[in-house]
Amino acid sequence: MDQFNNIGLIGRMGSVRVVETLRRLIAMLNAEDYHAVIEERTATLMSDHGLQVASRKLIGEICDLIIVVGGDGTLLAAARELAKANVPILGVNRGRLGFLTDITPEDLEERVLNVLRGDYVEEQRFLLDAHVRRNGEPIGFGTALNDIVLHPGRSMRMIGFDLHVEGQFVYSQRSDGLIVSTPTGSTAYSLSAGGPIMHPRLDAIVLVPMYPHTLSSRPIVVDGNSEIKIVIGEDNETYPRISCDGQLDITCAPGDSITIVKKPFKIRLIHPTNHNFYATCREKLGWASQISES
Is 35 a member of any domain?
yes
> Are 72 and 156 part of one and the same domain?
no
The answer to whether residues 133 and 250 touch, using CB atoms and an 8 Å cutoff, is no
C-alpha 279 chain-centroid distance? 20
Mean pLDDT within 97-110: 87
Reported as a single tens digit per residue, the pLDDT across 138-197 is: 999 999 999 999 999 888 889 999 999 999 999 999 999 999 999 999 999 999 999 999
Is 288 a member of any domain?
no
- Domain count within the chain: 2
Q: What is the pLDDT of residue 256?
A: 97
> Are 112 and 148 part of one and the same domain?
no
Q: Which entry of 72, 147, 176, 256 is annotated as an active-site residue?
A: 72
> Are 142 and 242 part of one and the same domain?
yes
Note the pTM of the prediction, 2 decimals: 0.92
CA dist 52 and 9 (Å) reads: 10
Is 183 a member of any domain?
yes
CA dist 43 and 31 (Å) reads: 20
> Are 114 and 156 part of one and the same domain?
no
- Beta 257-272 vs 204-210: how paired, if at all? unpaired
Amino acid at 125: R
Question: Taking 80 as the threshold, does the pLDDT of residue 294 lie above it?
Answer: no
- CATH number of the domain that residue 81 is part of: 3.40.50.10330
> Are 146 and 169 part of one and the same domain?
yes
> Are 246 and 133 part of one and the same domain?
yes
Is 286 a member of any domain?
no
Q: 134-164: string of b/e by CB count within 10 Å (b at 16+)?
A: eeeeeebebbbbbbbbbbbbeeeebbbbebb
Reported as a single tens digit per residue, the pLDDT across 226-265 is: 999 999 999 998 899 999 999 889 999 999 999 999 999 9
> Are 50 and 153 part of one and the same domain?
no
Domain of residue 80: give its range. 6-118
72 catalytic, yes or no? yes
